A and B are shown apart, each in its own frame.
Chain A
Amino acid sequence: MPSTSTRAESELRGHTDPQPLLQVNDLNVGFALPHGITQVVHSLNLAVPHQGALAVVGESGSGKSVSMRSLLGLLPGTAQVSGSAVLTTGRGQGRDLLAMNESTLRQVRGRQVGMVFQNAMEAFNPSVPLGRQLTQALLWHDLCDRKTAQQRAIQTLADVGIPEPERRMKMYPFQLSGGMRQRAMIAMATIARPQLIIADEPTTALDVTVQKQILDLLVQLREAGMAMIMITHDLGVARHVCDEAVVLRHGTLIERSGIMDLLTGARDPYSRTLVDAALDVGVEPPTAEASAAHAGAGDGGPLLRVQNLTKVFGSRGGHVLAVDDVSFTLRQGRTLGVVGESGSGKSTLARMVLHLIEPTSGTVHVNGSCLAEVGTRTLRRMRKDMQMVFQSPYGSLLPSATVSENIGEPLRINRLGDKNERRTRASELLRLVELDAAYLDMYPRQLSGGQQQRVAIARALALEPTLLVADEPTSALDASVQVQVLDLLHGLQERLGFAMVLITHNLAVAERLAHEVMVMQHGAVREYAPTAQLFRSPQDDYTRNLLAAVLPVRTGLDGGPDE
């Protein structure tokens, strides 16, 4: 860990810091709605020591982002904020941010407290050159003249590791890659040298390898003496950058402790659930393998044979090789994990396996029949045996149909059973995915994300397929729900014996469910090996990079399994 020394120091200081940089007391945030006020943050207390780093951890809807934005008055006008947030910079008296008027608070924003946003593409104005957006933070505070600001901006861009900073100044945000944009975002937040940075999920939208680089950059800033509040749902990120953490749930503080204490021995049951739900690479008992051996399902014959599958997307600007010569075989009851970063072609591969996209070349055989050759009628019949679960649980369900109708949809399409039979089947399936039968007549919109994904899984299983393709089935879900859905998929596979192609960007997800893992990059297979072997002794450089970029949550801690 690059930040071990700082962390040790601030751990020594801990809560005993007499005058922390930021002391938040009794923070309440509500939003005025037509029918009253909805309270989203309840009497929150926290402190950030000078040069310290605090992780604000929580799942979606925990109020972590709202509470931190409220400190700088960045919420929309309907927000009602109370409490105090005393910022003590330098030696003087602390000042309460929440008591300031707009123009005084404006002096604090950007100058004493900087903010890094999740999505740099959105946080930059798309039609203003980078340079101008950077210098604004200096000019608006009258910190220097235009020329100096220009030089400072170039210097800051260089500091955050952007090559050729002079040339980037004239560029527009969309002309940078995702990682570069996030660096530029950090440059914009730090150009006026604030003492505190609030980073709101700064790496959530990035690939793991890029995430690691951005986090390392943030750690560098910490070492340079900047204090930091890191809003995150990812305990690995929190552990990598911060020394202390607060856990929020539904706007209420659940636990406040040192990050290591939280990970090794959380006091609160909810915090423990969060820690337990975090997936680590190389620590989970290889459930898939053990159980497969146990059930003997892995000994089935080859169900899916993919040979030299290639997809070229043609466009006016040229051709893009999305999937490049991919081959694999999947036996009945087994799971293949396909892992890759964005643009690796994994989703295109999934769609070609189901013949939703026609391959440019190569073949897919299911149960010995080649999908490209069987003709539309047979293909339609074969589709009953191969179903798909999509990434967006809400987006893949028919919004105008009830849960029962959605689950019965594959039966309806294939003209199986009448209305009553379909409903009976739907309620059976609902039980199978551990949802209450009361949801049958609800509409997808009325369900939570995890429940929606359960419905989507039930729908995929309605025809008792032998092959299930799951495209990032849990990436839109909170960590605690993710584990439940993964366990559900695993349990169902054991009971029903279908084979599964699991597409994921998350190595830990693949490790948890897959018997074999295939790592893809830029459309090509980098490594294809049994799960345990791939995680224990990766052969390919890219696989090793990916594994190295995974942030450990519990591994390497005292008492935990070794890294």
Chain B
Amino acid sequence: MTTVETNEDAALPSRPRSEWSRRWGRFLRNRLAVLGLVIVVVACLAAVTAPWIAPYHYATLGPGDEFLRTGSPGHPMGTDILGRDILSRLLYSLRTALFIAIVAELLSLILSFAVGLLAGYKGGKIDQWLMAGTDVMFAFPGYLFAVLLVAVLGRSTWAVILALTVGSWVGLSRLLRAQILKMKSLEFVEAGRAMGATGWTLVIRYMVPGAMGPVLVSSSFGIPANMLAESGLAILGLGVAPPMPSVGTMINDGYQFVQSYPHLIAWPVAVFVLIMLAFTWVGDGVRDAFDVDES
């Protein structure tokens, strides 16, 4: 036998690099994604610390301070129709929006992992029934079901969370199911079976890591979508109950004065847009880092 490795690189690769560190490296190379991540982190910090950093309580009325313009002393973003500080209300709104969006996304992840893995791995009758269920949910277009749920359950934080969860688990569980089905036919999963791995060992160790890419991408777009829906519901008058502020409520309250006092909605919209963009950039970065197929 020849000792020459004819076509193989004789030199060792410089250092071991795990898939995750490679993805992180790829993510960091995307400047917009990093910027987005920074914005998201700042927004999350602001939301968490809102009670401490907000100059006023969100419901504090300023007597005679209605419609203060941006840049007024003590009210950097101005005040609204009732003289409440816009900056403070915005910070509390972010707190509500991020809390609802993240909790709803987590719940929907849990639900869709359960459904998607079960349907994808077990197949057969279970799969058929679960998929028939998602078919029905898919038949409710857009946000109709969420609107319906909040209308029925009444305005409350948990009603909104439930509505958003119900609206988003379907797509994600189908995605997971498809991923599991795809993984099932891959050689290293078959190799796992040949080595004696069975049942959930096989699913958790062999299939789930491979399915994580699309799931993470979907989640990083799912959170901003939830925020959008939350404030959308508030615009319809179906968001969290007042006096709890929400970007949607602020928009709703200020919209009638949009031409005379644009700052009432300009600030909430600007901040909201920035956060949405940041999430989008992060999502794009994650997608590129995982090399997820867009089709």
Partners in one complex: yes
The distance in angstroms between the C-alpha atoms of A274 and B2, with both chains bound, is: 12
Within 8 A of B (CB), among A480-531: 480-481, 484, 487
Binds A, one of B99-107, B168-176, B188-196: B188-196
Nearest Cβ distance between residue A158 and chain B, in whole angstroms? 39
A60 at the interface (CB under 8 A from B): yes
Residue contact B6 to A400, C-beta cutoff 8 Å: no
Residue in chain B with minimal CB distance to A382: B196
* A63 contacts across to B, CB distance below 8 A: none
Contact of A395 among B188, B206, B209 (CB under 8 A): B188
Mask of B168-209 contacts with A, CB within 8 angstroms, 1/0? 000000000000000000111011111111100100001001
Select one of B7, B16, B195, B206 contacting A442, CB under 8 A.
B16
The verdict on A387 contacting B195 (CB below 8 Å), with A59-B7, A273-B6, A396-B187 known, is yes
Give, as a whole number of angstroms, the nearest-CB distance from B16 to chain A: 4
Does A388 interact with chain B (Cβ within 8 Å)? yes
Whether the Cβ atoms of A446 and B6 lie closer than 8 Å is no
Stretch touching chain B among A89-97, A222-230, A407-415: A407-415
B7's partner among A388, A439, A448 (CB-CB below 8 A) is A448
> Does A443 belong to the interface (CB within 8 Å)?
yes
Which B residues between 197 and 230 are near A, CB-CB below 8 angstroms?
Answer: 197-198, 201, 206, 209-210
**Which residues of the other chain, B, contact A438 by a CB distance below 8 angstroms?**
12
**B191 cross-chain contacts in A, Cβ below 8 A:** 388, 390, 396-397, 456, 459
Which residues of B sit under 8 angstroms from A398, Cβ to Cβ? 188, 192, 206
Q: Mark A192-204, 1 if CB is under 8 A from B, else 0.
A: 0000000000000
In the complex, whether B17 has a CB less than 8 A from a CB of chain A is: yes
Contacts known (A395-B187, A481-B7); A387 close to B194, Cβ less than 8 A? yes
Q: Is the C-beta of A380 less than 8 angstroms from some C-beta in chain B?
A: yes
A contact residues around B294 at 8 Å (CB):
none
Is A237 interfacial (CB 8 A cutoff)? no
B26 vs chain A, min Cβ distance (A):
13
B194 engages A395 (CB within 8 Å): no
B73 at the interface (CB under 8 A from A): no
Q: Give the docked Cα–Cα distance between A96 and B1 (Å).
A: 45
A376 within 8 A of B: yes
A354 within 8 Å of B by Cβ? yes
Complex interface: chain A residues within 8 A of B63 (CB):
none
B16 interface neighbour in A270, A274, A441, A456, Cβ under 8 Å = A441
B-facing mask of A440-456, CB < 8 A → 1, else 0? 01110110101100001
- Indicate if the CB atoms of A480 and B209 lie closer than 8 Å: no
Whether A395 pairs with B8 at a CB distance below 8 angstroms is no
Nearest-CB residue, chain B, relative to A487: B1
B196→A480 contact, CB < 8 A: no
**A413 interface neighbour in B2, B190, B196, Cβ under 8 Å:** B196
Closest to A398 in B: B188
Q: Is the CB of B18 within 8 A of A400?
A: yes
Contact A439 B6 (CB under 8 A): no
A409, B195: Cβ atoms under 8 Å?
Answer: yes
Q: Which of A60, A277, A390, A441 contacts B190 (CB 8 A)?
A: A390
Instruction: Flag if A484 contacts B1 (CB, 8 Å).
Output: yes
Q: Which of B1-36 contact A (CB under 8 A)?
A: 1-2, 4-9, 12-13, 16-20
Give CA–CA (A90, B186) in the complex, Å.
Answer: 54
A residues near B19, Cβ cutoff 8 Å: 399-400, 443, 445
Question: What is the chain A residue whose CB lies nearest that of B209?
Answer: A400
A414 to B198, CA, bound (A): 10
Q: Are A270 and B206 in contact (CB under 8 A)?
A: no
CA distance A351 to B191 in the complex (A): 11
Task: Flag whether A384 is at the interface (Cβ < 8 A).
Answer: yes
**Pairwise interchain contact B13-A356, C-beta atoms closer than 8 A:** no
How many Å lie between the Cα of A454 and that of B194 in the bound state? Answer: 17
Contact B6 A59, beta carbon cutoff 8 Å: yes
Contact A391 B194 (CB under 8 A): no
* Cα–Cα, bound, A448→B12 (Å): 10
- A558 beta carbon closer than 8 Å to chain B: no
User: Separation in Å of the A255 CB from the closest CB of chain B?
Assistant: 14
Chain B contacts for A356, CB-based, 8 A:
190, 193-194
B195 with A354: CB separation less than 8 A: no
Against B, the Cβ 8 Å flags (1 = close, 0 = not) of A366-404 are 000000000010001001100110111001111110100
B198 and A380 contacting across the interface, CB-CB below 8 Å? yes
Q: Please state if A442 and B13 are interface contacts (CB–CB under 8 Å).
A: yes
Pair A61/B7 contact, Cβ less than 8 Å: yes
Neighbouring A residues of B190 by C-beta, 8 Å? 351, 356, 388, 390, 396
Question: Which of A448, A481, A484 has the most B CB atoms < 10 Å from its CB?
Answer: A484
- Contact A390 B187, beta carbon cutoff 8 Å: yes
Taking the complex as formed, is A478 at the interface, i.e. its CB lies under 8 A from any CB of chain B? yes
Of A61, A399, A487, chain B has the most CB atoms within 10 Å of the CB of A399
Q: Chain B CB within 10 Å — which of A390, A413, A459, A480 has the most?
A: A413
| B-side contacts of A354, CB under 8 Å | 194
- Select A478's contact among B7, B16, B20, beta carbons within 8 Å: B7
Question: A273, B196: Cβ atoms under 8 Å?
Answer: no
Q: Which chain B residues lie closer than 8 Å to A481 at the CB level?
A: 5-8
Q: Are B196 and A383 in contact, CB atoms less than 8 angstroms apart?
A: yes
The residues in A between 124 and 154 inclusive whose CB is less than 8 angstroms from any CB of B are: none
- Within A1-23, the residues touching B (CB, 8 Å) are none
Kindly state whether residue A436 has any CB partner on chain B within 8 Å: yes
Chain A residues whose C-beta falls within 8 Å of the C-beta of B206 in the assembled complex: 398
B7, A384: Cβ atoms closer than 8 Å: no
Q: Give A495 Cβ to nearest chain B Cβ, in Å.
A: 14
A397 touches B5 (CB 8 A): no
Using Cβ atoms and an 8 Å threshold, which residues of chain B touch A439? Answer: 12
CA distance A354 to B4 in the complex (A): 35
Say how far A484's CB is from chain B's closest CB, in angstroms. 7
Instruction: Name which residue of chain B comes closest to A395, CB basis.
Output: B187
The chain B residue sitting closest to A390, CB to CB, is B187
From known contacts A400-B18, A413-B195, A441-B16, infer whether A450 and B188 are also in contact, taking CB-CB under 8 Å: no
Q: How far, in whole Å, are A484 and B4 apart by their CA atoms in the complex?
A: 10
Q: B9 to A448, Cβ gap below 8 A?
A: yes
Nearest neighbor of A277 in chain B, beta-carbon distance: B6
Distance in Å: Cβ of A392 to nearest Cβ of chain B: 5
A450–B1 CA distance with the chains assembled, in angstroms: 15
Q: Is the CB of B4 within 8 A of A273?
A: yes
Which of B4, B13, B195 has the largest number of chain A CB atoms within 10 A?
A: B195
Contacts A383-B196, A399-B19, A413-B197 hold; do A446 and B13 have CB atoms under 8 A apart? yes
Pick from B1, B13, B17, B191 the residue with the most CB of A within 10 Å. Answer: B191
What are 27 of the A-B contact pairs (CB < 8 Å)?
A59-B7, A270-B6, A273-B2, A273-B4, A356-B193, A383-B194, A384-B196, A387-B194, A388-B191, A395-B186, A396-B187, A397-B188, A399-B19, A400-B209, A413-B197, A413-B201, A436-B12, A441-B16, A443-B17, A448-B9, A450-B8, A451-B8, A459-B195, A478-B7, A480-B6, A481-B6, A484-B2
- Top-3 shortest CB links A-B: A383-B196, A395-B187, A480-B6
5 more contacts with CB within 8 A, not counting A384-B196, A450-B7, are A383-B194, A397-B191, A398-B188, A398-B192, A484-B1
